[in-house]
Chains A and B, each alone.
Chain A
Amino acid sequence: MIAEILLVSFIGGLLSLDVSAWGQIMVSRPIVCGPLIGFLLGDLKTGLIIGALLELIWINVISVGAAIPPDVTIVAVACTTLIVLTERTLQPVSNFQSSYRMAILALTMPLGKIFGIADVKQRKLNAHFVHYLDREVTKGNLGAVGKVNYLSIFLFFLKGFLFSLIAITVGVYVLPKLFAYLPYDILAGLDFAYRLLPALGLAIAFNTFRGL
């Protein structure tokens, strides 16, 4: 399991680059990284469902100008991984499968916001790189431009990798213990919320297209 967590975090770091630092070919969208992570962990179908749900819920998230929206990639990676891994350990009691899924989804969603804060910090730090390059270019050290570029991409990767690694490791150990304490009423409510989630996602998508 540790090898799997490391692999998924590594892929998560690479995928989070696609959000802004490198590419933007949209492999960072939940509809792509959910199934990809699911496939790596041997449960493609769950990955597809979670990816599609998160995509619909956050279909209206756009980064315009300098505003940093919640990071959907890290949520999709952490959520899919945690669902697949906990379902493996909780296999005998699968009566509440959808309740657990809903709980994990609700618990991982704030990660996007926290990751967004880290992102803002890094982008503020990047200004130091610019000042450094101002000096280096004046001195005539033009090769520094490329080096700073690669270093910054590596730092973006490192941030995504470490963040998913910590979130997934904590989740894998805490979540099964937490689920043991959930009372029946809450589980029933979560189960029902999970079944209604597609309606919520589709409504958000409808609002997005109608409102623009």
Chain B
Amino acid sequence: MDNRIVRKSDLYRIFWRSFCLQAVWNFERMQNLGFLYTLAPVLNKLYPEKEQRIQSYKRHLEFFNTHPYFANALAGIVARLEEEMAKGGEVKPEEITTVKMSMGGAFGGIGDSLFWASWRPFTALLACVLVIIYLKEWEGAWLAPLFFLLLYNFLHFHIRIKGVIEGYERKTKVVRLLKKMRYTSTISSSHLIGSGLVLLAVTVIFLRQWEAMKSLLFLALFLSIVFLRRLRISSAKLVYLLVGICCAVAYIF
């Protein structure tokens, strides 16, 4: 175990560099350059010979795409595989490419549904509901965005740091990390609690706002959009529709 070339400090360098993963995102090979940039310190250390180093750089210039947070787990895995290969192990370059492709796709799907479609909307909604409920009575409503950032990034940084370290330690078995996080139940419970929060906010506004007529209109608009979900009207169009209808009504009466 002690003949490792990659030290913990190198893994932390991967972690810091991983924030630039999508800096040169392009339609042709997507995150390839970002991934190479993330991995560069490790490659430089593993391949002191220039020719080998050039070859390793070229390998990682190939197509790569995954969820930006989970790229760290892959960077950890690839760092380990590259190290084994540099030390003359039986790992082949093609094997590294295959791992990058297959796990990149899988992590991409998981990350999209966990972070983009669940955790971020949920934490953002929590902050919005706090703002809606407390804006009038409480001076500290500005803490809500801060709370959002802390709560969201808790899971985000956890994935980034754990991803590199566990990916390096356990290679492809890093998937267990996800199992331990119970990400499916995180997704479903955030959806459930999210819907509940929306209903809570609607009730609060309904009970305290304006005269009865306008409260009813508020509720009617909410329900009609909820029931019109199947039409899949984009958010921007809904806003323009609302403005148009309101202006037309104001013009007629």
Seen from chain A, the residues whose Cβ lies within 8 Å of a Cβ on chain B are: 20-27, 29, 31-32, 35-36, 39, 44-45, 48-49, 51-52, 55-66, 70, 102, 105-106, 109-110, 112-113, 123-124, 126-127, 129-130, 133-134, 137-138, 140, 142, 145-146, 148-150, 152-153, 156, 185-186, 188-190, 192-193, 195-212
Pick from B29, B44, B135: contact of A49, CB under 8 Å: B135
Pick from B26, B108, B217: contact of A123, CB under 8 Å: B26
Seen from chain B, the residues whose Cβ lies within 8 Å of a Cβ on chain A are: 19-20, 22-30, 32-34, 36-37, 40, 44, 50, 53-54, 57-58, 61, 65, 68-69, 108, 112-113, 116-118, 120-122, 124-125, 127-128, 131-132, 135, 141-142, 144-145, 148-149, 152-153, 156, 187, 190-192, 194-195, 198-199, 201-202, 205, 210, 214, 217-219, 221-223, 225-226, 229, 235-236, 238-240, 242-243, 246-251
User: B243–A52 contact, CB under 8 A?
Assistant: no
Pick from A70, A133, A199, A205: contact of B218, CB under 8 Å: A199
Closest residue of chain A to B53 (Cβ to Cβ) is: A142
* Residues of B with C-beta under 8 A to A22: 19-20, 23
User: B37–A146 contact, CB under 8 A?
Assistant: yes
Pick from B22, B30, B116, B141: contact of A48, CB under 8 Å: B141
User: B23–A26 contact, CB under 8 A?
Assistant: no
User: B57–A145 contact, CB under 8 A?
Assistant: yes
Pick from A45, A52, A204, A209: contact of B225, CB under 8 Å: A204
- Nearest CB of A to B87, in Å: 21
- Nearest CB of A to B205, in Å: 6
* Residues of B with C-beta under 8 A to A66: 27, 30
Q: Given contacts A31-B124, A200-B238, is CB(A142)–CB(B221) below 8 Å?
A: no
User: B124–A189 contact, CB under 8 A?
Assistant: no
User: B145–A32 contact, CB under 8 A?
Assistant: yes
User: B132–A52 contact, CB under 8 A?
Assistant: yes
User: B251–A200 contact, CB under 8 A?
Assistant: no
Q: Given contacts A129-B33, A130-B24, A195-B214, is CB(A142)–CB(B57) below 8 Å?
A: yes
User: B249–A189 contact, CB under 8 A?
Assistant: yes
User: A31–B127 contact, CB under 8 A?
Assistant: yes
* Residues of A with C-beta under 8 A to B68: 20, 24
Q: How far is the CA of A106 from the CA of B236 in the complex (A)?
A: 8
- Nearest CB of A to B120, in Å: 7
User: A205–B198 contact, CB under 8 A?
Assistant: yes
User: A45–B135 contact, CB under 8 A?
Assistant: yes
* Residues of A with C-beta under 8 A to B118: 212
User: B195–A20 contact, CB under 8 A?
Assistant: no
